[in-house]
Structure 1
Amino acid sequence: MYRNPRAGKVAGVCAGVADYFSVDAWLVRLGMVLGLVFFFPATIIAYIVLAVVLKPQPQGLYESNEEEVFWRSVTTRPDQTLAGLRAKFRDLDREIGAMESAVASREFDLRRQFKDLEK
């Protein structure tokens, strides 16, 4: 979780929280305003603490849009991300098994021997 001063209004805390939870920044800002109206001291203290504790978002945090989408889905839906990764690894394992069986087959060895004879 980072502050996002480039997209923020004051210190970027609301924008950073919105980025982290994948919600619109205006919703977090609305919650902040409501917090100021009903719980003024606690809200101010929490905002100041977050502004001091949270580091600013580094430039080029994600290399591509796909990477950003992936990491945001990890933070919001870790169980679905884990299931997706398991399925990908299962598919990769099947493909590797198919390649191993093709390379270890007698037909592959026979074709290699014919290619060696042609040279």
Structure 2
Amino acid sequence: MANDIFERPDLQPPSRTRLYRDKANGKVMGVCAGIADYAGFDVTLVRVCMVAAHFLTGGGTIPFYFVAGLIMPRKPAEFDYAAPEERQFWQSVRQSPSRTARDIRSRLREIDRRLADVESYVTTENRSLAREIEQLR
């Protein structure tokens, strides 16, 4: 399957920032579930909006729904979320990639700072720490 991507240049590799049909969580074709997953909304809210749009347009949204269901690619199985935090992370990436990158940089700086504090504590001459280490031996 991976070779198909190289043989056919019109195919793009799967991306977590792309809009997919979510057939696993969908009712009819997975379009509303895919839109909800992509936008970070509750799927019930998207379905209610779709029904409201159906009544407001006199049924004009039905063809668009089925066309979207035929055009949108199916969500790859490897993109299923293992935890709610993972879902929130990828939704924030889709909404604002630059803000997400800043948040990650900030977290890494904080981790680096804390690691430097631990390193300086361990490497400085600390008699109480040396005593504790000797007691553990």
Report the TM-score when normalising by structure 2. Answer: 0.58
Correspondences of 1:103-114 after superposition (within 5 Å) = none
| 4+ long deviations beyond 6 Å | 92-95
Q: Does 1:45 align with 2:48?
A: no
Task: Tell me the equivalent position of 1:23.
Answer: 41
**Partner AA of 2:77 in structure 1:** Q
Q: Distance in 1 between matches of 2:72 and 2:58?
A: 21
Q: Deviations over 1:39-95 (max 9, x none)?
A: 134311220111011111111215743443321211123342132134246568879
Say if 2:61 is the partner of 1:61: no
Q: Which amino acid aligns with 1:57?
A: K
Q: Which has the larger radius of gyration?
A: 1
Letter of the 1:80 partner, please give it: R
Partner of 1:82: 101
Counterpart AA for 1:75: R
Aligned length: 102
Residues 1:2 and 2:15 aligned together: no
> Percent of counterpart pairs with the same letter?
39
Q: Provide the alpha-carbon RMSD of the alignment.
A: 2.9
Secondary structure in 2 matching 1:40: coil
TM (norm. structure 1) is: 0.65
CA distance in 1 between counterparts of 2:43 and 2:86 reads: 21
Mark the CA change 1:30 to 1:62 in structure 2 (over 3 Å): closer, same or farther: closer
Structure 2 residues without counterparts, runs of 5 or longer: 1-18, 117-137
